[in-house]
Structure 1
Amino acid sequence: MKKRKIPMRKDVLTNEMQPKKSLVRIVRSSEGEISLDPTGKKPGRGAYVSLDPAAVQQAKAKKTLDKVFGQPIPPAFYDDLFAYVDHQKARQELFGAQE
């Protein structure tokens, strides 16, 4: 059986290449709205973030996503992102990585 290629994406917070399934996508729509994209299929400019709550906290302090998307991002979004990443990391540890 032929080995399948694993799609890799760059984490904007740590600048490391990781498998796409282990990252969460954040998307900016054409209207400038920033949102989480758990499916990875929303239209717009996307950026990938690893499931590391500490990196999200550091990104909030340094306003990393503001620089990535070129617009101010409300602190509430960082809080939502932290909650989502923390939850997904806990799920991964409990159930293992989903293939």
Structure 2
Amino acid sequence: MQKKIPTRKCVGCGEMKDKRELVRVIKTPEDEILLDTTGRANGRGAYICNNIDCFKMALKNKGLERSLKAQIPEDVLDKLSKEFGE
């Protein structure tokens, strides 16, 4: 029997991809929004492809805000876009 590979949907492009290929952005129980590098942090998560285009698309179509069920402050957006390599 083959081991099932978990897949997640990118909130930017909408493609289903292997969970390990995507970057997880979380909203912690303290309402802090940050990148989850371990993939195991506590909080509500949203997955984005590891490229700046998908990140921009997720902002444009409000996919990130919808997934995290929160408004994302401007300073947090700046920090996230730097981490995505803009």
Taking structure 1 as the reference length, what is the TM-score of the superposition?
0.70
Q: Which has the higher helix share?
A: 1
Question: Whose RCO is larger (CA < 8 A, sep 6+)?
Answer: 2
Distance in 2, matches of 1:12 and 1:74, equals 18
Q: Is the 8 A contact 2:26 2:43 kept in 1?
A: yes
State how many pairs are aligned: 86
Is contact 1:60-1:75 (8 Å) kept?
no
Aligned to 1:78: 77
Q: How far did 1:23 drift?
A: 0.5
Give a deviation string over 1:31-51, Cα, whole Å, max 9, x none.
222111000111111111111
Partner of 1:23: 22
Q: 1:10 to 1:51 in 2, by over 3 A?
A: same
3-state SS of the aligned residue for 2:85?
A: helix
Other-structure match for 1:35: 34
Matched residues in 1 for 2:66 and 2:45: separation? Answer: 13
Identify if the C-alpha distance between structure 1 residues 62 and 75 changes in structure 2 by more than 3 Å, giving closer, same or farther. Answer: farther
**Kept after mapping to 1: 8 A contact 2:13/2:58:** no
Identity %, equivalent residues: 36
Identify unmatched segments of 5+ residues in structure 1. Answer: 88-99
Structure 1 counterpart of 2:58: 59
What's the Cα RMSD here? 2.2
Structure-2 residue corresponding to 1:48: 47
Q: Is the 8 A contact 1:10 1:16 kept in 2?
A: yes
Counterpart AA for 1:48: Y
